[in-house]
A = this chain, B = another copy of it.
Amino acid sequence: MDIQQIACKAQAAAIRMAALPGEVKNRALTEIMQALEAGQQAIVAANQQDLTRSEKEGLAAPLLKRLRFDAGKIKEACAGLLSLIQLPDPVGVTLSATELDQGLELYKVSRPIGVIGVIFESRPDALVQISSLCLKSGNAVLLKGGSEAAHTNRILADLITAAAAKAGLPEGWLGLLETRADVNEMLAMDQYIDLVIPRGSNEFVRHIMDNTHIPVLGHADGICHVYIDRAADPRMAVKVCVDSKCQYVAVCNAAETILVHEGCAADMLPDLQKALEAKGVEIRGCDVTRRIIDVGPAVEADWSTEYLDMIVSIRVVPDLEAAVDHVNHYGSGHTDVIVTADRAQAVRFMDAVDSADVFWNASSRFSDGYRFGLGAEVGISTSKIHARGPVGMEGLLIYQWRLMGDGHIVADYSGDKARPFTHRKLQKTFKR
């Protein structure tokens, strides 16, 4: 099958997925769980092929670690499936109900989006997680995983497809893409695909955003800031900065720039330098910073660089407004933090910073679907519509308006003798 056929089949499947009862979807998730357990040996063997080849090709150790899909990972994936089964069906939920007139009732009912295209990094567990989230939310899905994980992804997709078919899921609801060329073809198919969720390197996400008319949910850069206000507790400020920068440097919610109010810079910077350098962080400072501590210079490009590494830039700012302006200008709308003992200042910062996540006295690293309590995460969005910040299953849903009448026509509500609408909110749910 070529990509167009896969996408076209996914669209047909999506329409049937939208109407599936919750029990059928849960039965499919149960079948998938059992298939993963029963197929453990074959999965591990396929994964071993990927690992061996990737090792030969010199893949870095942290990436090899992410690629590994062993018995422990399979157990974790099954635990994830079980928690998904326990959630109520998110489709068909009444979001609002309004009486327009006697016997004319309008319901806003949750509904899957349709066909979701997901491009994800090398971790094969992402394939299980994403496909099961799409299944539970009634969406069809086209998946493209990391090429290093090709064998693992293929066997996982086959197992999942076969297991779901046993429960009665429509053929074609899950499509596996295998090359970058496949992805480029997919990006042109806005007649079949409703949403693209890219996860991966900045360049790749940006490439996708720039090359499709399909709506994209995701983020390219994660240029996150910590602003230390004059009213900050100095020890807390150091603690939050170190965690935001160092707890895991290679991720989008790690801090790249620290902004320091000039009123506390002389006090703060030496302690901050000591704590960061103890962790092995290279500091690049603005001129004012460098008059206080002995660090290398930050140039203009530093303020808009996502290091994803043990490097941080520091800038001293005259006040909160200047901090906000810096964040809004150089930031990526991802996650920004203020450390201050003054709640009013924190709220001013939150009102003015136009980012998906704004935190008060907490590490930027909390910006994550699991930590937010959203269950599994489909991604983090810096888009301004539909879904922002960490996105859970909610981001895979939309709604449909259902009007239930008894032969009502608009002519009766128009002209000189127009009947008035009642527009009364109802405490009712849509009845099947």
* Interface positions of A (Cβ within 8 A of B): 14-16, 18-19, 98, 100, 104, 106, 113-114, 194-195, 209-210, 213, 215, 217, 233, 236, 239-240, 242-243, 247-248, 328, 344, 346-348, 350-352, 354-363, 365-367, 371-373, 383-386, 388-390, 398-411, 413-414, 421, 423, 432
Residue among A194, A217, A402 with max Cβ neighbours from chain B (10 Å): A402
Q: Which of B100, B352, B414 contacts A373, CB < 8 Å?
A: B100
Q: Which of B243, B390, B404 contacts A410, CB < 8 Å?
A: B243
In contact, B409 and A247 (Cβ under 8 angstroms): yes
Q: Which of B362, B384, B405, B407 contacts A114, CB < 8 Å?
A: B384
In contact, A408 and B361 (Cβ under 8 angstroms): yes
With contacts A352-B15, A410-B247, A432-B347 taken as known, whether A421 is within 8 angstroms of B371 at the C-beta atoms is: yes
Distance of A231 Cα from B401 Cα, bound (Å) = 23
In contact, B195 and A384 (Cβ under 8 angstroms): yes
What are 16 sample pairs from A and B whose C-beta atoms fall under 8 A apart? A15-B328, A15-B352, A100-B372, A210-B213, A236-B407, A247-B410, A347-B432, A357-B401, A357-B402, A359-B405, A362-B403, A363-B409, A366-B403, A372-B401, A386-B398, A388-B401
Residue ID in chain B nearest A253 by CB atoms: B410
Contacts of A15 in B (CB 8 A): 328, 352, 354
Grouping DSSP codes into helix (H, G, I), strand (E, B) and loop, the A interface class, with mixed when no group exceeds half, is: mixed
Contacts of A352 in B (CB 8 A): 15-16, 18-19
Distance of A365 Cα from B403 Cα, bound (Å) = 11
In contact, B408 and A389 (Cβ under 8 angstroms): no
Q: Which of B100, B240, B410, B432 contacts A365, CB < 8 Å?
A: B410
Contacts A247-B411, A356-B401, A360-B404 supplied; 13 other A-B pairs, CB < 8 Å: A18-B352, A98-B372, A106-B373, A114-B354, A215-B384, A247-B414, A347-B432, A357-B402, A362-B405, A362-B408, A363-B408, A363-B409, A371-B413
The minimal Cβ–Cβ distance linking A336 to chain B, given in whole angstroms, is 11
The minimal Cβ–Cβ distance linking A42 to chain B, given in whole angstroms, is 32
The minimal Cβ–Cβ distance linking A120 to chain B, given in whole angstroms, is 19
Q: Which of B104, B194, B209, B351 contacts A18, CB < 8 Å?
A: B351
Residue among A209, A242, A371 with max Cβ neighbours from chain B (10 Å): A371
Distance of A10 Cα from B194 Cα, bound (Å) = 30
The minimal Cβ–Cβ distance linking A34 to chain B, given in whole angstroms, is 28
Residue ID in chain B nearest A236 by CB atoms: B407
Distance of A98 Cα from B390 Cα, bound (Å) = 14
Contacts of A344 in B (CB 8 A): 432
The minimal Cβ–Cβ distance linking A221 to chain B, given in whole angstroms, is 13
Residue among A354, A361, A398, A401 with max Cβ neighbours from chain B (10 Å): A401
Distance of A347 Cα from B367 Cα, bound (Å) = 40
The minimal Cβ–Cβ distance linking A430 to chain B, given in whole angstroms, is 9
In contact, B373 and A98 (Cβ under 8 angstroms): yes
Residue ID in chain B nearest A328 by CB atoms: B15
The minimal Cβ–Cβ distance linking A115 to chain B, given in whole angstroms, is 9
The minimal Cβ–Cβ distance linking A110 to chain B, given in whole angstroms, is 11
Q: Which of B209, B328, B373 contacts A421, CB < 8 Å?
A: B373
In contact, B386 and A385 (Cβ under 8 angstroms): yes
Residue ID in chain B nearest A107 by CB atoms: B350
In contact, B399 and A388 (Cβ under 8 angstroms): yes
Distance of A3 Cα from B367 Cα, bound (Å) = 36
